[in-house]
Chain A
Amino acid sequence: MFLNDIKVSWRKLWLDKTTSSIHISSLAIGIVSCLLIFSWIMQQFQYDRFHEKQDRLFQVWENQYYSDGTILSVTATPGPLKKVLEEEMPDISKAVRTTWSIKKEFRNEQFTATESGIYADEDFFQVFTFPLLEGDPISVLQQPEHIVISQRMADQLFPDESAIGQSLEIINEQPFTVAGVMENITSVSTLQFDYVLPFKKFESENDWLLGWQNNGPNTWVLLKKEVDSKDVQNKLASLIKKDSRQKNTELFLQPVKDRYLYTDYENGQYAGGGRIEKVKLFGLIALLILLVSCVNFISLTTARASKRAKEVGIRKVIGASRKAIAGQFFIEAMLISFFALSIGVSLFIIFLPYFNEATNSSIVFSFLSKEVGVGLFGIFLFTLLVAGSYPSMLLSSFSPLAAIADRFQQQVGQRWLRNILVVGQFTVAMVLMAGTWIVLQQIQFMQQKELGFNQQQLLYIPINSTGLAKKYNVLKEDLLKIPAVQSVSSCNQKLNDIRYSTSGISWEGMPVEEDHLFTTIGANFDFVNTTGLVLKSGRDFSVEHRADSMNVLINEAAAKLMKMENPVGKSVYFGEEPAQIIGCVKDFHMYSLKYEITPAILYVDSDLSYVYVQVATDNLPNTLTSLEQTFNNYESTIPFEYQFADEHYSQYYQTEKMTSKLAILFSILALLLCGLGVLGLTIFSLERRIKEIGIRKVLGASTRQIVQLFLKNILQMVGLAFIIGTPIAYYFSQQWLQDFAYRIEVSWWIFPIVGIIVMIFALLTILIQSLKAAFASPIGALRKE
């Protein structure tokens, strides 16, 4: 019986190729989307979850409490914390510090390379699982001249020989010995580095690490076995407040395996956001799309049901039980699901590379993996159950008599249900499309927004050598000789990537017990001129005023905070040290638009990390060459690097861009599914109404009137979808936009336009079919009688 059913089902599929392809492709689309999203989700859950000791591995965070009630949560911790943790917390087995990523120039006799890496304490390789191909994890970072490099770096610098024991020079530092070679860091690690240097080396060059006043490195702890992290948490909270350490701060632990997904901390609490929200969102979308495609399937199947009714009737007459009929249709659904699954999986494999590129992932598909097998089977089962059960139940319930007697003029399976399904599909498509549009608008807004300074003409040139820093003044003169160079200054950070801040600032009239966080920018003379910041009052730092090296500029937000209407001439105090405000600049964006503009103080800094050059925009290649030449006169060993401020800025919205790409993909898929659904239903509707159309034509209906019959129905459904979908889309986009401190207003006209697009699409889909019907000869239709 089973074999027979398969034979019959196969023949049915083959004979009605159009409808079968519509059936199968719509299911396949749903499957492909699911596969893509679920594999992406699975990968998101793999980040930082490969460490052997991950259940005991935590990162130390600090909550900083400020008088205005804000609580800032940071991962930058004080240098001495590690030792204190190891000594005063018996539950902690080891503590390790790491720095942020630092780029260095490497050189040996034959090769050079620029690589990024970190400094880490000795126990690093025992706490984290970054496998060493060569070298002993225990001793590999023990000596200050040791270095561990990645396989890739070893291949590049020591292609023909073993790197162990070899000498490697870092520009402007003394030579190091390669003590270990590690596997290239997996892409599912948030910690990325190609070399590791001993932390003690970093400490020896940075005294500020020794005290409690400064935060910088990340601190990680490995708890002892069978220790309850909550216990540790409780003891830890007040550790840092003791003695002369940091006041108004508390420590807490975050499991390393949660690092990637649970990133949003607000007011000292995990605010329930971060990437996990994106993961949930996309999971939901994937399920929706799978559901929509199953709905399509059900809708198409039940629509065709009246055609099958006769067959069901006959079979029942010749002896089929209800179970047998249900079984037959279930097998048909199984066959279709199987084909859809095969096509879906093939499409998945084909599109995976493009998907990886768009979402910045590195998903790999392997038939052999257990998860994949289970996943595929699960999807197969799901679609089979959802898509197969209802039609089977429905079709097997026909009474044979009614079926055969062709009294099945009425639409089977309740027309209203099918209409609801179609309306639902259209709604999903509209919500996705409107949402995508809004996301794209927001991204465009952020990319084009005026930041408050001149991004397009500002170049950041990193200064990597102390020698160069010393010659800054002469360098500046030489740079100004280049005609396209309009102004030169320097800064300790990139202006649209400001991270430093400080507290302990006071001013006249400040309420005594208050403490606020101010963003600090270490600038130089001609800073305002070079960056294009706009002065609201006062003047730029200038060499003509010697005292400017002790003066400061503030922004509007700072003036507001300090309640100064005319800040110029007033003083602020860094601890005890006074500084005079010489000017106030209009607020500018110092980071991504997700964040509010904070009060900022600019001062003249001897720490020059970047030379700022303002250039004229024409003939850039020439200008860049001249710049390079000038730099090379001062430092020929380090390659000349530069970045335009707007380039740096455009990197901020990677997540949003990825979201938008995925959103576009899913909007298209949803629309396609709708189209397939509508197409299938129209074809069916046509077949069923051939007789009716024939009669109408004989009675004198024009082609136009016939076509109108079909169009009216579809338009009603699209209209309904519009009414339902618009508020839903509006709500969800508002939710998403909340993430951004600076955001667009949702323009009302997006929704009607999306509605019209969907309507046009629906119309086109059925246009061909309905025209065909309208032009068909009535005689052929009536002859069936």
Chain B
Amino acid sequence: MIQLKNIERYYRSGLQKSWVLRDINLNLDQGEFLTIMGPSGSGKSTLLNIIGMLDQPNNGEYMFLDEPVHKFRESKLTDLHKHYIGFVFQAYHLIDELTVYENIETPLLYRGIKSKERKSLVADVLDRFNIVAKKDLFPSQLSGGQQQLVGVARAVIGKPKLLLADEPTGNLHTSQGEIIMDLFKELHKDGMTIIQVTHNEKNAQYGTRILQIEDGFVRKDTPT
């Protein structure tokens, strides 16, 4: 599903280049549950962002579903990633002025899905995640764990092929974190491809494969 070849990413300051990713190679099939791990500053989040098409590599090739993404313009990228990719953030990043229901609904609005269909999709997701009772509350009225649940719900409602999660449990206590990870496990069982970035060894165990990144290079690539 995903092929990364010689991916490089650096930032310029004046004439200097500061490297984040030096030579990343990765082949990921559909249905895998990959964990990307590494020390701070190793480039994990950047790699995730590139895979998620939020960022573009300076060099290298990125094939997503056999399409050469590294050649695409912003509008095409938005399109692709709208339909195939869901993103979960460490800081949840919900829209404060919208209710839980509305937050979850928003991706569907951007896809032009009609009202009736939206209603049923959202209802499904609320039910599955067990947050029906909270659908009219605002993010500020929820606990961290609940907010993340909503974040995940929002990410998956469009039935993306790929779910990306950047330190999804980073702001949660252990018990809340477990709920989220269990959810991921379930989604994976249902066929979703998941890539997560995390520091947490325990979280890594939920997945099927671990990629260790250090100083911009892949150090280890092993099944769990």
Residues of A participating in the B interface, judged by any CB pair closer than 8 Å? 1, 4, 8, 11-12, 15, 310-311, 313-322, 324, 400-401, 404
Contact = CB atoms under 8 A, between A and B. Distances in A.
Interface string B148-176: 00000011001000000000000000000
B78 A319 contact: yes
B134 interface: no
A737 to B, nearest CB: 55
B109 interface: yes
User: Which of B54, B75, B82 has the most chain A CB atoms closer than 10 A to its own CB?
Assistant: B54
Given A310-B93, A311-B95, A318 B78 contact: no
Given A8-B97, A15-B97, A316-B78, A404 B89 contact: yes
B106 interface: yes
Nearest to A1: B109
B59 interface: no
Nearest to B45: A405
21 contacts: A1-B109, A8-B97, A11-B97, A15-B97, A310-B93, A311-B95, A314-B93, A315-B110, A317-B54, A317-B87, A318-B82, A318-B107, A318-B154, A319-B78, A319-B81, A319-B107, A319-B110, A319-B111, A322-B74, A324-B110, A400-B54
A522 to B, nearest CB: 82
A319 B97 CA distance: 18
> Looking at chain A's contact residues, is the secondary structure mostly helix, strand, loop, or mixed?
helix
B54 A8 contact: no
Contact of A12 (B75, B93, B97, B155): B97
Interface string B124-162: 000000000000000000000000000000110010000
B106 A315 contact: yes
B98 interface: yes
A322 B82 CA distance: 13
Q: Which of B81, B89, B93, B158 is packed against the most chain A CB atoms within 10 Å?
A: B93
Contacts of A310: 93
Given A319-B78, A400-B54, 10 more contacts: A1-B109, A11-B97, A310-B93, A314-B94, A314-B95, A318-B87, A318-B155, A319-B106, A321-B75, A321-B110
Contacts of A8: 97-98
Contacts of B95: 311, 314-315
Contacts of B81: 319
B23 interface: no
Contacts of A401: 49, 54-55
A728 to B, nearest CB: 42
Contacts of A322: 74-75
Contacts of B49: 401
Interface residues of B, number: 23
Contacts of B82: 318-319
Contacts of A1: 109
Interchain residue pairs A-B with the least CB separation, the first 8: A319-B110, A319-B82, A318-B107, A401-B54, A11-B97, A314-B93, A319-B107, A320-B110
A1 B81 CA distance: 20
Contacts of A320: 110
A324 B94 CA distance: 18
A318 B111 CA distance: 10
A184 B54 CA distance: 75
A321 B81 CA distance: 11
Contacts of B110: 315, 318-321, 324
Contacts of A324: 110
A315 B82 CA distance: 11
A135 B208 CA distance: 105
B61 to A, nearest CB: 20
Nearest to A401: B54
Contacts of B107: 318-319
A321 B74 CA distance: 10
Contacts of A12: 97
Contacts of B111: 319
Nearest to B104: A318
A110 to B, nearest CB: 74
A608 to B, nearest CB: 83
Nearest to A7: B102
A256 B98 CA distance: 63
A12 B96 CA distance: 10
Nearest to B157: A318
A374 B95 CA distance: 39
Contacts of A4: 109
Contacts of B94: 314
A4 B102 CA distance: 9
Nearest to A15: B97
A484 to B, nearest CB: 79
A1 B94 CA distance: 19
A785 to B, nearest CB: 11
Contacts of B74: 322
A322 B79 CA distance: 11
Interface string B77-116: 0100110000101000111011000000011011100000
A308 to B, nearest CB: 11
A400 B78 CA distance: 10
A404 B49 CA distance: 12
Nearest to A323: B75
A404 B93 contact: yes
A784 to B, nearest CB: 11
Task: Tell me which of A1, A322, A404 has the highest count of chain B C-beta atoms within 10 A of its own C-beta.
Answer: A404
Contacts of A400: 54
Interface string B177-209: 000000000000000000000000000000000
A324 B97 CA distance: 18
A321 B80 CA distance: 12
Nearest to A311: B95
A255 to B, nearest CB: 59
Nearest to A10: B97
A314 B95 CA distance: 8
Contacts of A11: 97
Contacts of A317: 54, 87, 93
A546 B94 CA distance: 105
A328 to B, nearest CB: 11
B99 to A, nearest CB: 10
A404 B52 CA distance: 14
A318 B157 CA distance: 11
Interface in B41-76: 49, 54-55, 74-75
A640 to B, nearest CB: 75
B78 A321 contact: yes
Contacts of A321: 75, 78, 110
A9 to B, nearest CB: 9
A11 B138 CA distance: 12
A404 B89 CA distance: 10
Residue of A320, A321, A401 with most chain B CB atoms under a 10 A cut-off? A401
Between B75, B87, B109, the greatest number of chain A beta carbons within 10 A of the residue's beta carbon is seen for B109
A1 B108 CA distance: 10
A158 to B, nearest CB: 70
A400 B82 CA distance: 13
A321 B73 CA distance: 13
Contacts of B75: 321-322
A115 B78 CA distance: 80
A189 B107 CA distance: 64
A15 B138 CA distance: 13
A317 B55 CA distance: 11
Interface in B11-40: none
A767 B111 CA distance: 47
A695 B22 CA distance: 36
Nearest to B99: A11
Nearest to A314: B93
B54 A319 contact: no
A395 to B, nearest CB: 15
A317 B111 CA distance: 13
A310 B74 CA distance: 18
A318 B95 CA distance: 11
Contacts of B154: 318
A68 B20 CA distance: 89
Contacts of A316: 78
